[in-house]
């Protein structure tokens, strides 16, 4: 079957307190914020994630990899990779890690520019960062990082 670009993709911006989720369609090349999932020391509500996966049925899942500016990895990279492996193991979905340097910074700027508060905990920075991860991958599917 030819690749029609109709794949649905879901992206996660992993965090220790919140995990942002976005969804989009490859043909359009854009994403939309979907959810902010509370996490406790990086452990999410897996039932909520399963509900999103069941509802949206993505063909691919992306997880942001928060590399340092020099491209080196840090502790959060190890945690994000672990989250990606758990997504794959629990839900048997293809997972791609995506370089997400500066997405949270850019998302905060967008929220403030849009008149949002600097109280980022409740104003969609993490789900907006997930949109940026998604759109980065749409522009360059080769931007995926080895698992």
**3-state helix vs strand vs coil in the chain, percent to 5:** 40, 25, 30
Domains of the chain: 8-145 (3.30.420.140)
What's the pLDDT tens digit per position in 12-23?
Answer: 999 999 999 999
For the segment 44-54, the average pLDDT, to the nearest whole number, is: 96
Confidence of residue 144 (pLDDT cuts 50, 70, 90): low
Angle, alpha carbons 42-56-47 (nearest 5°): 40
Global pTM?
0.82
What integer best gives the mean pLDDT of the chain?
83
State whether residue 48 is helix, strand or coil: helix
Angle, alpha carbons 26-138-35 (nearest 5°): 75
What's the pLDDT tens digit per position in 68-125?
Answer: 888 888 999 999 999 999 999 999 999 999 988 755 545 445 544 555 544 444 446 7
């Amino acid at each position: 079957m030819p690749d029609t670009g109709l794949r649905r993709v879901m992206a996660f911006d992993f965090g220790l307190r919140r995990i942002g989720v976005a969804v989009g369609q490859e043909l359009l090349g854009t994403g939309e914020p979907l959810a902010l999932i509370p996490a406790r020391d990086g452990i999410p509500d897996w039932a909520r994630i399963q509900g999103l996966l069941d509802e949206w049925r993505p063909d691919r899942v992306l997880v942001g990899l928060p590399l340092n500016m020099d491209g080196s990895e840090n502790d959060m990279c190890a945690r994000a990779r672990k989250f990606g492996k758990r997504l794959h193991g629990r839900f048997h979905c293809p997972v791609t890690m995506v370089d997400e340097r500066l997405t949270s910074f850019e998302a905060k700027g967008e929220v403030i520019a849009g008149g949002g508060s600097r109280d980022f905990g409740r104003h969609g920075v993490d789900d907006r960062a997930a949109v940026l991860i998604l759109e980065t991958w749409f522009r360059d599917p080769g931007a995926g990082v080895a698992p």
